[in-house]
């Protein structure tokens, strides 16, 4: 088999800024050892997130010019609505400015004290919106998903027995919704099987609990189903997507992921009554129902991107490029989540830095080391992001201490990725020199975005 190439050529380029290691040490100190606080110009390869960082196509840029900026009933809204309806089959489509705006609306309406939302794994903004409403989020990740180096085809799956147990324990009446995150972002970008989606959907139906999909990476997940699940090799990605959504009652989506847009999101559903309540809130917080916090041009870019993302040459290249970096790291014995996920490579920081206890945030320490060594920006997905405090202020750590290297869509070439592998392997060689960190300042919710830290001397 020949090399799988980038299925595009480059028409417009953006320079990247080089810094020295010495400069980066100073930059990191000034940023309080939190790369969210670093200026993007001081980053060489930015793998902080794949969210809103995609390169748009020439078609999408043409769509930006065609965007209809009418306040109500813009033609770009109808193009967007048509695209979402075709892919998901949901009759009601509500635009929002991001995925979290869709979550905020949904959980403000359904959440509240004494309510429980169950998921395979809730993404951080999803969990934060649930908790902000006073409700609780419960993750029921399948057993295989809990072991980073254990290879299984669908490690993002929900543990269906645990789901049933939780419903019995908490009472179906206290569970306003079950949410399946595809792919499972916080769980390693691992896919969820069609069979698992179907099983969760059936359990929800039996108990009359609405079943929603957090669809941020629906195309990547659909492609994994095609590659890995029996009976789907001959189906097209759009066919798989339609089937997957057909088992659910609605979805939230960030168009900053699998829609190649730089901003945007939506909420889609079948329930008319719920939609009326969502639209009422939308008008107060986001905007009128045909733009929801977006410009007409954004709606146009999303409408086009949603179709482009299902192209199988693109998806083959996308999935292969993550696997390519993962395999290079495996060959060098760097501990990573296996098999490769859909949008990012995840390093197991606990294994990488066994000398740093979880109370000293090994994930964040590794994030900082990668920045200093090679100007690479990554993100911790561990106890800085998900840790909580016991009443005696002792840290309740996250299940895993991961470092995520998210690959922006259609942005970096193979030589950029080769460089990334070289930097990680160099840091791995020098791992014993890396020190832990302590927090000096933090906020109660989503603290990882703004926290200040310092190295433990
Ligand atoms: C990014 C993301 C969100 C939130 O979307 P935003 O557009 O960033 O607000 C929700 N769920 C998952 C799985 C995500 O990856």
Which pLDDT tens digit goes with each residue over 387-427?
Answer: 888 899 899 999 889 999 999 999 999 999 999 999 999 99
127 CB near ligand 1 (under 6 Å): no
CATH architecture of the domain covering 58-308: 3-Layer(aba) Sandwich (3.40)
Q: Cβ(342) to ligand 1 under 6 A? A: no
Q: pLDDT category, 188, cuts 50, 70, 90?
A: confident
Q: Atom 12, ligand 1: which residue's CA is nearest?
A: 123
Q: Is 60 in the pocket of ligand 1 (CB under 6 A)?
A: no
Residues 222-266 have pLDDT tens digits of 999 999 999 999 999 999 999 999 999 999 999 999 999 999 999
pLDDT, tens digit, 9 for 90 and up, residues 107-119: 999 999 999 999 9
Residue 447: pLDDT band (50, 70, 90) is: confident
CA 321 to chain centre: 17
Q: Is the entire prediction scored with pTM above 0.85? A: yes
For ligand 1, atom 3, the nearest C-alpha belongs to 99
Domain ranges of the chain: 21-50+311-455, 58-308
The CATH number for 21-50+311-455, chosen from 3.40.50.10070, 3.10.105.10, 3.90.1150.10, 3.40.190.10, is 3.90.1150.10
pLDDT of residue 185: 83
Q: Ligand 1 mean position to 99 CA, how many Å? A: 5
Q: What percent of the chain is predicted at pLDDT more than 70?
A: 100
Whether 216 is in the pocket of ligand 1, judged by its Cβ within 6 Å, is yes
* 124 Cα: distance to centroid of ligand 1 (angstroms): 8
| 99 C-beta closer than 6 A to ligand 1 | yes
Atom of ligand 1 nearest to the CA of 183: 13
Instruction: Tell how far the Cα of 216 is from the centroid of ligand 1, in angstroms.
Output: 6
Q: Is 181 in the pocket of ligand 1 (CB under 6 A)?
A: yes
Tens of pLDDT along 82-93?
999 999 999 999
């Amino acid at each position: 088999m020949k090399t799988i190439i980038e299925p595009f050529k480059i028409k417009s380029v953006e320079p990247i800024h080089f810094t020295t290691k010495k400069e980066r040490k100073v930059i990191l100190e000034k940023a309080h050892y939190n790369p969210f606080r670093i200026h993007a110009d001081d980053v060489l390869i930015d793998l902080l997130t794949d969210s809103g960082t995609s390169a748009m196509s020439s078609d999408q840029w043409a769509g930006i010019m065609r965007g209809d900026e009418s306040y109500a009933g813009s033609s770009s809204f109808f193009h967007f609505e048509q695209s979402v309806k075709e892919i998901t089959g949901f009759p009601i489509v509500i635009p929002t400015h991001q995925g979290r705006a869709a979550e905020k609306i949904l959980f403000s309406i359904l959440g509240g004290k004494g309510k429980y939302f169950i998921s395979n794994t809730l993404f951080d903004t999803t969990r934060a919106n649930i908790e902000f409403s006073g409700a609780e989020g419960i993750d029921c990740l399948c057993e295989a998903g809990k072991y980073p180096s254990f290879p299984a085809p669908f490690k993002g799956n929900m543990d269906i027995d645990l789901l049933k147990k939780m419903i019995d324990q908490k009472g179906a009446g206290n569970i306003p919704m079950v949410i399946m995150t595809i792919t499972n972002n916080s769980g390693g970008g691992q896919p969820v099987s069609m069979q698992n989606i179907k099983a969760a959907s059936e359990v929800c139906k039996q108990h009359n609990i609405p079943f929603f999909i957090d669809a941020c990476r629906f195309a990547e997940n659909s492609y994994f189903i095609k590659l890995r699940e029996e009976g789907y090799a001959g189906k097209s990605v759009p066919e798989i997507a339609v089937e997957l959504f057909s088992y659910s009652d609605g979805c939230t989506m960030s168009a900053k992921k699998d829609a190649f847009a730089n901003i945007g999101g939506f909420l889609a559903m079948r329930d008319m009554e719920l939609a009326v309540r969502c639209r009422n809130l939308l008008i107060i917080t986001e905007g009128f129902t045909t733009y929801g916090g977006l410009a007409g041009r954004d709606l146009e870019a999303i409408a086009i991107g949603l179709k482009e993302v299902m192209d199988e040459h693109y998806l083959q290249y996308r999935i292969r490029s993550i696997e390519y970096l993962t395999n290079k790291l495996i060959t060098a014995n760097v501990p990573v989540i296996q098999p490769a996920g859909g949008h990012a490579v995840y390093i197991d920081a606990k294994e990488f830095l066994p000398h740093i206890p979880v109370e000293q945030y090994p994930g964040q320490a590794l994030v900082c080391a990668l920045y200093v060594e090679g100007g690479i920006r990554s993100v911790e997905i561990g106890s800085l992001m998900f840790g909580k405090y016991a009443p005696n202020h002792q840290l309740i750590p996250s299940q895993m201490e991961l470092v995520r290297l998210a690959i922006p869509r259609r942005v970096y070439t193979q030589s950029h990725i080769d460089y990334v592998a070289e930097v990680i392997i160099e840091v791995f060689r020098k791992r014993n020199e890396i020190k832990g960190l302590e927090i000096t300042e933090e906020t109660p919710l989503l603290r990882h975005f703004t926290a200040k830290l310092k190295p433990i001397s």
